[in-house]
Chains A and B, each alone.
Chain A
Amino acid sequence: MEQFVVSARKYRPASFDSVIGQDHITKTLQNAIEKNQLAQALLFCGPRGVGKTTCARILAHTINEFDQTQKLAQSMNIYELDAASNNSVDDIRNLIDQVRYPPQYGKYKVYIIDEVHMLSNAAFNAFLKTLEEPPSYAIFILATTEKHKVIPTILSRCQIYDFNRIGIVDMVEHLKFVAKEEGVTAEEEALHLIAQKADGALRDALSFFDMIVTFASDNQVTLEATLHNLHVLDYDYYFKITEYLLQENTSDTLLTLDEILAKGFDNHNFINGLSEHFRNLLVCQDAATVQLMEVSDSVKQRYLQQCQQTSKSFLLTALNIANQCDLGYKSSKNSRLHVEIALMKIAHLPSAIQLAAGEPKKKTKIPDTLPVEPVPVPPTPTTSNLESDSQPATLSSTGSPKQDVVASPPTAEEVHVASAPSKENGHQRATSKLPDLQALKSKVAGTSIEAKEETSHKPSRNEAFTQEDLMKYWKEFAETRREAGKQQEYLVLSQKPEFKEPDTLKIKLNSAVQIDTVDYLKSDLMPFLRDKVQNDGIKLEAELEIDETKALIYTPAEKFQYLVEKHPPLKTLQERLGLDPDF
């Protein structure tokens, strides 16, 4: 059986011209060679699999070819040292010893030291002197993926070349070339997906390509096979699930998850993919950022379509939930339940958001009823221009949560009363005051009632009133609360609302809890005010004033998440030691 050679090796470029995606480097190097200005110590750094070692080898060959020496001589003049497995002082001393002898053939002795960040400190130091005053015939090319681990005294002695991640387009082109050489027919979408998953590293892309060819039938690289072998869930599923979530169709959402799991995908994989999908939708919301999406055009179109139906607040909140789910995933004992709960929460978002949007003409969207821990507001500066108000309305009309709207009226008493399970019907009733979903549901019910109210009062009153009057009655109502001993409610109401012509009161609040309180008081407050001034047109808007500093980091889990973003290894630390972000 003939030995199979992986594409990354088989198609390793042999000349500068065939190096992919590093023009700025190859040109500079070629120029330097032509003008005889090549430094004696070069440092190639950049991410994995982008051509550092390859360029080092080409450079080594090129400078010796100028001397027209024989192939044999070339190989004798090029020394490759793997610093990762030869990182001791002795290894470096051996190398230094060799450097002292001039080349037998040709002009240069080229030393390629790969993974140079792995040299021990002592080895680095032993190497310094040679690097500082190398003999004229010696050229050192150091390569590393981790520049920050190379000591500054070495860095300062080298000419530094920063290699780029390889762009998707370049990668797809190269994959096409390899496919052609290998006699493989490949679908464009498939190559695109491979390039995307390779995350800037050409070697990864080639290794994915090999894998797919390995498991493909008839040398065909189809999108389907690629999705399967790369273990990537088809976009379709994410589009479908997002649609269900927007319709608050929990049942089909969960069924789809089941379908996905049955295909051998794991929960964790899925929730991260869903986050990615939400992120893409978010990116789509702004024409300026659409180009950040690394997907093929046809898929981009689908994203653009779906993003029309999603609001920024939905996406941000959903992302937040998905994120929490990801963070807690490893420690959960029933990962499926963990993911299902997250999905259920997301499926309840649209009505929560729609409620928060409240009356029309409102600028600020309040994701106040986030069914997430006490982390309600995603730390974003997106308080303005969140979306057009008409969207949520159209959504809810197609898919309001069936079982909830029918629930009993959300008067304060009802909501607080703890009652035995309702046996009379299959619907869930508001039985306890839990912070998240419960609050949310009572509000769902709340709107339906208010809506009813408005229609039932057909001959609506429309007397003229003054702003002063309105403020006076507001105070009066607040007093009734104080007398009733509802200090918390009084406190919220004692914040003076602004009056906006013609008939709207606007109150600015600084926490989701206060928003909840106002929402809950509305059912008493509004009839009270409307009766007093004999005008049914009066509206109340509650707005969450996001205090940036407050919104940023709040819970220990958030603090931890923030730290993880800055220092990703922390997450590994947490997982390996089974640590808890709480104190």
Chain B
Amino acid sequence: MQFEDIPGLQEVKQGLIDAIQKGHVAHAQLFSGPEGSANLALALAFISYLNCENPGTTDSCGTCASCQKNQKFIHPDVHFVFPVSSTTKVSGKEVVSNSFLKEWRTFIEKDPYGNLSDWSLVFGGENKQLNISKGESRSIIQKLSLKAFEGGYKTILIWMPEYMNASAANGILKVLEEPSDRTLFLLVTQDQERLLGTILSRSQKVFIRAFSQEEITTELQKEGVEEVRASHSARLSEGNLKLARRLAGEVEEDGATLFKDWMRLCYSEDYGQMVQWADEFHKMPKISQQSFFRFGLTLLRETLISHYGDSHLIKMPEEEKEFVRNFSQVVTPEKIEPLTSLVEEASYHMTRNASTKMVFLDLSITVSRLLKGKLNGIPH
């Protein structure tokens, strides 16, 4: 992984490079960024740059021996620690990062923006709870007792340290604070609030912002997604590149059109149709159902904003603006909040395996009454 492999984030990359060139490499750093951000990718690029034999002003060379190893994530002085769980093949004491290195390399090569469940799919974790066990902290200490093979930095990258159990986390406090020379800890977290204060306090933070909508759009287009779809997916993704890619790749019928039709249906109070819709909705794949809701919320947001007359805040195609204009006539700001809660709640219940038909029909009826002003607040 090199910096140039990561879209956008110019100022963040430059900051990291400057730090290395200044010789300010703190021995324990926490790359903190939201899900779908470049926190892991940047940590990997940072390592490559640090180890590179001919680093340039904006990136590692990509050709030296060290870079070649880092490209395949097989540099002998770079160690990876990440949450794992037992699988059909690996169990008991074997459940440590080292047993999954092959899968890990595949994962970070293909999907450095993925989350924990993406990773779990790659190594076959089968929905089991993942963690970084105490055994792992012992192996970290062991790895650190070895001399660096290539005379440079010895690096330990811990992905998602928030999944360390308490004894594992406590177990690395000492080395984290006073490691031997030329040792580097890179902790890559999506949720720093869940880290032990004693860990936070020992590491230097590097905040990685989420991708901007523009950065994601540009990237998706580079990957061959056509413009409208790219900006549409970017808009729904809230800066999560992984999610944006998935949205762009969805071939099912557009959640947008569906949601609009459904809103019209609710407004028409045609209960017979609603029952049919619930049946149809039930047959849709889960992912399309969720994208239906996701789009719905985005639309509600745009409607809310349109009430305050700020076209600047809405980034949407022209034909959708038209819909929002009409929609906002019916959906006043005070209706948006209950609508939002209803949609959120229904979507949540469906992820919890409630009966899709029932939930959807109930939602349709409630929304219909709400739109028609026949509802006193949200029923609980």
Contact = CB atoms under 8 A, between A and B. Distances in A.
Interface of A: 1-4, 6, 8-9, 47-49, 82, 84-85, 87, 114-115, 118, 145, 201, 203-204, 207-208, 210-211, 213-215, 217, 229-231, 250-251, 254-255, 258, 262, 264-266, 331-338, 340-341, 344-345, 417-419, 421-423, 428, 431-438, 441, 572, 580, 582
Interface in B144-203: 167, 170-174, 177-178, 181-182, 194, 197-198, 200-203
B4 to A, nearest CB: 21
Interface string B60-74: 000000000000000
B280 interface: no
A337 B238 CA distance: 11
B44 interface: no
Contacts of B336: 341
B201 A433 contact: no
A344 B332 contact: no
B261 interface: no
Contacts of B178: 9
B204 A6 contact: yes
Contact of B25 (A4, A336, A432): A4
Interface string B365-380: 0000010111111001
A435 B379 CA distance: 12
Nearest to B326: A421
Contacts of A428: 307, 332-333
A44 B313 CA distance: 54
A435 B347 contact: no
A578 to B, nearest CB: 8
B301 A340 contact: yes
Chain A interface mostly helix, strand, loop or mixed? Answer: loop
Interface string B310-343: 1011000000000000000110111111101000
Nearest to A344: B333
Contacts of A580: 348
Given A4-B23, A118-B170, A337-B297, A48 B212 contact: no
A48 B334 contact: no
A329 B209 CA distance: 18
Contacts of B173: 82, 84, 114-115
Q: Which among A9, A84, A266, A345 has the highest number of chain B CB atoms within 10 Å?
A: A84
18 contacts: A82-B174, A84-B171, A84-B174, A114-B173, A118-B167, A118-B171, A203-B202, A211-B204, A213-B24, A215-B19, A254-B305, A258-B312, A331-B344, A333-B293, A333-B347, A334-B238, A341-B337, A580-B348
B346 to A, nearest CB: 11
A53 B205 CA distance: 23
A557 B12 CA distance: 39
A419 B371 CA distance: 10
Contacts of B177: 8-9
Given A84-B173, A418-B373, A421-B329, A437 B204 contact: no
Contacts of A337: 297-298, 300-301, 304, 340
Contacts of A6: 26-28, 204
Interface string B121-156: 000000000000000011001000000000000000
B245 interface: no
Given A203-B201, A214-B26, A428-B332, A266 B210 contact: yes
Interface residues of B, number: 74
B344 A3 contact: no
10 shortest interchain CB distances as A-B pairs: A432-B373, A418-B373, A264-B209, A84-B170, A437-B334, A334-B297, A421-B329, A337-B301, A251-B308, A214-B24
B15 interface: yes
B227 interface: no
A251 B206 CA distance: 33
B310 A251 contact: yes
B254 interface: no
Contacts of B205: 207-208, 211, 230-231
Contact of A204 (B181, B201, B212, B374): B201
A264 B239 CA distance: 10
Q: Which among A2, A262, A431 has the highest number of chain B CB atoms within 10 Å?
A: A431
B376 A2 contact: no
Contacts of A118: 167, 170-171
B294 A333 contact: yes
Nearest to A423: B329
A82 B210 CA distance: 37
B26 A437 contact: no
A3 B24 contact: no
A4 B293 contact: no
Given A211-B206, A333-B344, A419 B373 contact: yes
A84 B301 contact: no
Nearest to B313: A258
Given A85-B141, A431-B332, A418 B374 contact: yes
Contact of B304 (A9, A82, A208, A341): A341
Interface string B282-316: 00000000000110011011001101111011000
Contact of A434 (B300, B338, B348): B338
Given A266-B34, A428-B333, A341 B313 contact: no
Nearest to B32: A231
B22 interface: yes
A210 B204 contact: yes
A114 to B, nearest CB: 7
A434 B330 CA distance: 14
A55 to B, nearest CB: 15
